[in-house]
Every structure is written in structure tokens, then in C-alpha cells.
Amino acid sequence: MHSRRALLYMPGDNWKMITKSVTLGVDSICMDMEDGTAVNKKGEARTTIAKALQELDFGTSEKLARINSVGSGWEKDDIEAVLPHHPDGIVIPKVESFEQVEWASRIIEDAELKHGWKLNSIRILIGVETAKGILNLKEIAAHPRLDAIIFGGEDFAASIGATRTQDAIELLYARQAVIVACAAYDLQALDIVTIDYKNLEALKVESEFGARLGFSGKQVIHPNQVPVVQEAFTPSAEAIAYARRIVETFEASQKEGKGAYALDGKMIDMPLLKNAQKVLARANAAGK
Ligand code: COA
Ligand code: MG
């Protein structure tokens, strides 16, 4: 699965921002037709994204297009405008049911067959950002074409009538619900946008908290946010070294017939080994 520590959005009709995005070394680029694009610019966003997919070299950045929500009335034209140019994935916002993912998956499969592309080569990432979406996560997360669930904090706060605060305590339950569903189905979990984009210290704190919760990455909206977020979701050299020591000493201790043992004055047993392996997998995905 493509590493997605930072997923950068820009309005799909903004050619300048799209061309800038491919120079940033960001893991994922998401050209938006939904809420970042004005209602009277939806058509322009479709043709601009199609042009970008045809003409620009995205390098190692993943190229994604976000369509409008299923049921908005725009979704069909959105997906049909971009699919012929083989994006790496489609992002569907405000998903509330398995059927909405299946709707897009069928259209994608038809395109893969029609063009002779590898089946499942175009992935789906979904936004879960409403009360119904959170309630139905159990069914939604089981969809086989899914790679990631993106939690939209602002939409979710609006959906439940919560007031957003800096520490985002009002979002904790839903963020953890998304993380649990992702862990159960081996998906990536992508955290909220820090909309106060000039405050990079707040971004760092929020990113590190998200990483501790179990998110694998975070949505960003400005180029300056990219390095901060990508660093926060890359295990530190210290964390990698400690994880390696756990893996090595665990093996030796098993051979001695001990399930639990002490390392630097702390108890190590199976769950700590599993966590260490997750750290190493994440470091590996980030090219460390
Ligand atoms: N992607 C790529 N480039 C971006 C960008 C983005 N999301 N946001 C800003 N830039 C570029 C600008 O074009 C500018 O480029 P330049 O130096 O070549 O002129 C540079 O980065 C600095 O931008 P800045 O002037 O600091 O930002 P701004 O005031 O123009 O825009 C926002 C601020 C928040 C309006 C803008 O960042 C934005 O639209 N972000 C995306 C919002 C979005 O897509 N929301 C929907 C999903 S949540
Ligand atoms: Mg949203």
C-alpha cells in the first residue's frame, strides 16, 4: 500500500496549486472536486484534473481525485471525467454506507476492464465524517477496494453539533472509532485537517497526538504543513532503534523459554513485540 503520511488537498480548478503540489515531495496529492471547489467551478475542476493527470509528472506522489459525495448529483460526472486518465485512487467524501463504496467500485472496475488495466489498480479512499458514517463503519470498512479511511473533523463536528476546540476532545470517540475499524480491516487511518495552517507548532502537536492514537497519516491543506506532518508520522530514529532491540531480544528470550522478560527495567511480552513490529513496518513504508 502506498505510504500516505500526508495527503494534500487543493481545489481541482486551481492549476497553479496542482502544479506546485508535484514539486513538494508529498506522499499523496488529492485534487478536489468537493468542498474545496466552488459550486460554479465543478465543471472547470473536472477538466483541470483530467488535464493534470494527462500532462503532469507526479513523481513518487500518489495522484488522487476527490469526487462529490454519492447522492450529491455531481458524483457521476466527477468520476467519469477523471477515470479515463487513470488516477491512483478515487476519494469519496461523506460515506455513510457500503453501497456508496460499491457504486464507485463497480464504475472503477468497468473502467479497468475497458482499458485493460490491472484489476484493483485504482484504489478507493473514503471520508467518514458524519454520524451515520461512524455508526456504519463496521460494514463500510469491509469493502475490498478500500485502502484508507479519512476522518473529517469539521464535517463530523457539524454533523453532531459539537463545538471545535484546539485539543479536539469533542472528536476523540469518532477518531478512535475510525482507527479501530481501520485496524480491524488493515486499512490506513488518516486524521483531521489542522485548519489553522499558519500555526505549525499546533500542527506538530496535533500530528504527534494523532500518531500516538494510531493514525497512519493526516490531511493537509497547505505546502508548509507537508514536512511537519510527514515527519510526525515517520517513526523517530530512537523509536526504530528501540523497536529493533525488542524484536531481537524477544527472539532470544523465547528460545530461553521465557514469554515475558525485562528490558531497560520494563516488562516486554507479546503485545510489545507486535507494537514494535508495527513501528518497523511504518518506518519501512516511510523508506527508513
Ligand atoms: N496545494 C498546493 N499549493 C498550495 C496550496 C495547496 N493546498 N495552498 C497554497 N499553495 C501555494 C500557493 O499557490 C502559493 O504558491 P506560490 O508561492 O507559487 O505563489 C504558496 O503555496 C503559498 O500559499 P499562501 O499564499 O501561503 O496560501 P494562500 O493564502 O494562497 O491560500 C488556502 C491559503 C488555505 C486558501 C489554500 O492553502 C488552500 O486553498 N488550501 C486547500 C484548501 C482545500 O483544498 N480544502 C478542501 C479540502 S479540506
Ligand atoms: Mg469534508
Question: pLDDT value at position 288?
Answer: 84
Contact 92, 100 (CB under 8 A): yes
Ligand 1 atom 46: residue of nearest CA: 36
Q: Is 43 in the pocket of ligand 1 (CB under 6 A)?
A: no
How much distance in Å is there from the Cα of 132 to the middle of ligand 2? Answer: 14
Q: Which fold has domain 5-232?
A: TIM Barrel (3.20.20)
Please identify, by atom number, the ligand 1 atom nearest to the C-alpha of residue 34.
46
Question: pLDDT value at position 19?
Answer: 98
The model's confidence at residue 268, banded by pLDDT at 50, 70 and 90, is very high
pLDDT digits (tens, 9 = 90+) for 10-19: 999 999 999 9
Choose among 147, 171, 143: nearest CA to 159: 171
pLDDT at residue 149 is higher than 90: yes
Average pLDDT, integer, range 62-84: 98
Task: Give percent of the chain above pLDDT 70.
Answer: 100
Name, in order, each residue with C-beta under 8 angstroms of 31's C-beta and a sequence gap of 6 or more. 10, 12, 18, 45, 48, 49, 52, 63, 64, 65, 66
pLDDT digits (tens, 9 = 90+) for 179-233: 999 999 999 999 999 999 999 999 999 999 999 999 999 999 999 999 999 999 9
Ligand 1 atom 29: residue of nearest CA: 222
Question: pLDDT value at position 226?
Answer: 98
Q: Which ligand is nearest to the CA of 157?
A: 2
Please identify, by atom number, the ligand 1 atom nearest to the C-alpha of residue 9.
44
Average pLDDT, the chain: 97
The catalytic residues are 269
Q: Which residues of 1-16 are buried (b: 16+ CB within 10 A; e: fewer)?
A: ebbbbbbbbbbbbbbe
Q: Domain ranges in the chain?
A: 5-232, 237-285
Helical H segments across 56-192, by residue range: 75-82, 98-115, 131-135, 137-140, 153-160, 172-185
Average pLDDT, integer, range 82-105: 98
Q: Mutate which of 17, 28, 49, 219 to test ligand 1's pocket (most atoms within 8 Å of Cβ)?
A: 17
pTM over 0.85: yes
- Amino acid symbol at 163: T
d(CA 269, CA 218): 30
pLDDT digits (tens, 9 = 90+) for 108-124: 999 999 999 999 999 99
pLDDT at residue 285 is higher than 90: no
